[in-house]
Chains A and B, each alone.
Chain A
Amino acid sequence: MVKAIVGAEVLDAKKIARREAIRKGLFWACWGVFIGFAGVLGASVVRFIYPRIVFEPSSIFKAGKPDDYKAGSVTLVTGRRVFIVRMDKGVYALSAKCTHLGCQPIWYEDQQIFKCPCHGARFTKEGINFAGPAPLPLPRFYLSMSPDGHIQVDKSRVVSMDFLLEA
């Protein structure tokens, strides 16, 4: 079926092998470019979803003076998810984040307990879990007194359950 082309170049085995090599090289080069591009695209998307900067409130903040709180009171610091508990001898800060699934417990003054509205976990005033699904007590945060007499809360430092800032 193949018609001999007049004046066609006579190909020897060496030339055929070289052209075959070039063809294979181009084939893999194309795949290489494609896989490389897909890899860079994939890696850039993975990196893209991690923000470089987050606009979130600092984990260290001031929560007023100890005398702003009435002895025996529990106060939620709005927007910070921290309870400031004022005792006669001092102050401590409890995390307002339920240890079950992260909802915000509510302080019931008449019953003197925290109740979580999501799944009914209960905590004492000291933050100890005594009913419901919560597996751990509410963490207590490190408190210090700033030079201007304000309570300074550090949410990145969890302290033991007997911690009390005397004030």
Chain B
Amino acid sequence: MKWVPLGLVRYTFCLGGLSVFFFLLCILTGPFLMLYYVPDVNRAYSDVMDIMQVVPFGAFVRNVHRWSACLMVLCVPLHMLRVFLQAAYKPPRQLNWLVGITLLILTYLLCFTGYMLPWDQEAYWGATIGATMAENTPILGAKGPFSVLPSDKDIHYIMLGGTVLDQPTLSRFFFAHCIAIPGALAGLMGFHFYNIHRAGGMSGPL
């Protein structure tokens, strides 16, 4: 392990670590929220209200989850900006830049799927907008440019579990938010740190 010379360490070097910190806070609080939240369209919203008003410290736990998520979404692009402005994506760190872009996309997907879980008006129409955008994606969406898949096989259909937002959609978003995306994110994060180690620690300003 090589260390960045002390004089070169800046506070902006903490942005990546802060992203991890906020991710860990979400990982810690998320499973506790799952104890009271059931992904059922008829009770999801009232479960969230229960967590906020009835469960002891429920509002605190949910707010830690929510605010850490928001701050993570803030920190990840700032970390990328730091890496970009200091040209820290250059060899031998090109692969880690690509891994980082994937991590950014996964962070946004976590944010999007989590936003949807309370199943209120904001979530429902937000998910509608996201679903329509998926439907208009190039190649993968049925209505997008260069589309190859029919409307009952495209990415929009997989996402919603059908053609309209209903119970299958909430179940799928719940699975994506709690298992698929955090798992992929954690695995790729490990790879990200391994690459940092392999390239000789954090990169200083050029």
Contact = CB atoms under 8 A, between A and B. Distances in A.
Interface of A: 49-51, 54-57, 101-104, 117-118
A-B interface, 3 closest residue pairs, ranked by CB to CB distance from nearest: A102-B132, A54-B162, A101-B129
B16 interface: no
Contacts of A51: 161-162, 168
B71 interface: no
Contacts of B163: 54, 56
Nearest to A57: B164
Contacts of A101: 128-129, 132-133
Interface of B: 125, 128-129, 131-133, 135, 153, 157-158, 161-164, 166, 168
A54 B129 contact: no
Contact of A102 (B131, B153, B158): B131
12 contacts: A50-B158, A54-B163, A55-B162, A55-B166, A56-B162, A56-B163, A56-B166, A101-B129, A101-B132, A103-B125, A103-B128, A104-B125
B129 A102 contact: yes
A18 to B, nearest CB: 42
A103 B129 contact: yes
A110 to B, nearest CB: 23
Contacts of A117: 125
A17 B131 CA distance: 60
Contacts of B162: 51, 54-56
Contacts of A56: 162-164, 166
A101 B132 CA distance: 6
Contacts of A103: 125, 128-129
A118 B157 contact: no
Nearest to A79: B164
A54 B167 CA distance: 11
B125 A54 contact: no
A86 to B, nearest CB: 26
A49 B157 CA distance: 10
A57 B128 CA distance: 17
Nearest to B121: A117
Contacts of B168: 51, 54
A54 B47 CA distance: 26
Contacts of B131: 102
B161 to A, nearest CB: 6
Contacts of B158: 49-50
Contacts of B153: 50
A117 B163 CA distance: 22
A91 to B, nearest CB: 24
A50 B168 CA distance: 11
A56 B169 CA distance: 12
A50 B129 contact: no
A137 B133 CA distance: 18
A102 B125 CA distance: 8
